[in-house]
Structure 1
């Protein structure tokens, strides 16, 4: 191939088309536990996170919730992946070897939110949320019906592989995926670029700006106990009985069970078997959807 601007433009368009095709073929899964929040600056402050919205009887004036009470902030981060194409390969039309790499660019770009969201969920026992406590904790603050601060738990601890029960029916999800700039395909491929002049390399890459964080811990139960019917029962009861400030029920249900590969067998038996415990009728059959996530242990 003759090295000129027109041919290099054709090469760029071909690579980008390959990238977009592979990108579109991937269905990311992070959306079952994370809500996407557009970002327009370096960081976003989530002051509304200490106010779980609930209706009340209108007596007297409206009670206006202050949505700037929390200083929980998620700072955007930069991510990239870059390859170089040797000028000799372009001249010799030896470009087929790069097609799988560009396809992998597309796949990894589309699934990258998964690589952020699922490890964050697994790190919920050590990563803090808006109230200053780890997201999965036994000491989250809440006001009881008398207006006094008490605590609630959204975990029962343990040391096994983690599993999670959460309510995936709401607009607000337990995890926030903050999107400042989506993944894009970029290039330094002009014959006059320093990388071409000095190293005879055309450079192609992908990059994005984003980050992840936690929203309401009330929406999820995390456990490292063995996934048994008794542990699952505890998780469902705790979620269903969850109350917000002043003792108001939040109407949360355990609709999605999330596990890693090591808990898949136990989860499938729990949610699909007719019997448990050696012959007892299984009351938990069909009570939640199952999501098996390879990014979890």
Structure 2
């Protein structure tokens, strides 16, 4: 089987959550500036002329980064039909490339407690400023505590809490031409994958980060807070939390919260099926 086919099959078959969490934005340059984040004026009754709302120039920029992974294969092993020995390595390159966006996105999500978003505040903060009727009101999308972090997200709309920026997609490359200088001098082939991508924060209103215990009370409070979030101008965004992201150590608590019919201590569980569960080691401490 050709090496590229091995890579491609592994890439296509590898599981990934990135499309559920992030909005993919094509990039045409070294970086992209997202000046429109945070400004979504509400509809008003049309009386007289239109009222034009200017987008705030937040100047939030995501710079693309380059990534690569390369393996070498002795030319004699290929000639002797021993490529099967190296197939798992090439297959793992495909799987790693497919899951690399997950790594970037979820590690960024985990860093949201101490990394700034478009408004200059940490993505998860207690004092996100929103201008309503000429006055600034602070909104919180964080619960403090000492427990392992968990995250509640609204991924139901085109704009997502995380932006995955793609300048050059993941590309499989090979240097196996017998006339190339490297093959001639080293008697080996090179196979690799490269990409130019990065991840950045989208709207903080679409995410909630908690380090409080994952239980029904804290989960309910997080959902209620998100549903009341507003954008500049006072527009209620209509947030509907759809995804709960947890590290492996919270999988049992999350499964009980979202999948069981009966709550601890008795009584029906009102939170059953209220969010899709994603368990990933990339958000673990």
Change (3 A) 1:66 1:230: same
- Provide the residue aligned with 2:9 in structure 1: 21
Task: Verify: 1:78 aligned to 2:62, yes or no.
Answer: no
Asked if the contact 1:34–1:177 (Cα under 8 Å) also holds between the matched residues in 2, the reply is yes
- Provide the residue aligned with 1:60 in structure 2: 48
Distance in 1 between the 2:249 and 2:198 partners?
Answer: 27
Asked if the contact 1:166–1:219 (Cα under 8 Å) also holds between the matched residues in 2, the reply is yes
TM-score, length basis structure 2: 0.94
Asked if the contact 1:26–1:111 (Cα under 8 Å) also holds between the matched residues in 2, the reply is yes
Change (3 A) 1:64 1:26: farther
- Provide the residue aligned with 2:189 in structure 1: 202
- Provide the residue aligned with 1:98 in structure 2: 86
Deviates more, 1:29-38 or 1:273-282: 273-282
Q: How far off its partner does 1:259 sit?
A: 1.3
Distance in 1 between the 2:102 and 2:123 partners?
Answer: 19
Q: How far off its partner does 1:94 sit?
A: 2.2
- Provide the residue aligned with 2:160 in structure 1: 173
Change (3 A) 1:53 1:98: farther
Distance in 2 between the 1:52 and 1:161 partners?
Answer: 33
- Structure number with larger C-alpha Rg: 1
TM-score, length basis structure 1: 0.90
Q: How far off its partner does 1:18 sit?
A: 1.3
Distance in 2 between the 1:213 and 1:93 partners?
Answer: 44
How many aligned positions are there? 284
Distance in 2 between the 1:46 and 1:33 partners?
Answer: 18
- Provide the residue aligned with 1:137 in structure 2: 125
- Provide the residue aligned with 2:266 in structure 1: 279
Secondary structure of 1:49's counterpart equals coil
Asked if the contact 1:125–1:134 (Cα under 8 Å) also holds between the matched residues in 2, the reply is yes
- Provide the residue aligned with 2:232 in structure 1: 245
Structure 2, unpaired ranges of 5+? none
Deviates more, 1:208-217 or 1:247-256: 247-256
Instruction: Let me know the Cα RMSD of the aligned residues.
Output: 1.7
- Provide the residue aligned with 1:5 in structure 2: none
Distance in 2 between the 1:123 and 1:84 partners?
Answer: 35
- Provide the residue aligned with 2:29 in structure 1: 41
Task: Verify: 1:114 aligned to 2:102, yes or no.
Answer: yes
- Provide the residue aligned with 1:150 in structure 2: 137
Structure 1, unpaired ranges of 5+? 1-12
Secondary structure of 2:103's counterpart equals helix
Cα shift readout 1:162-213 (whole Å, capped 9, x = no counterpart): 1111212111110000011111111222223332233222111010110000
Distance in 2 between the 1:22 and 1:190 partners?
Answer: 24
Cα shift readout 1:62-112 (whole Å, capped 9, x = no counterpart): 233334611100000100000111122233332211111111111111111
Deviates more, 1:42-51 or 1:65-74: 65-74
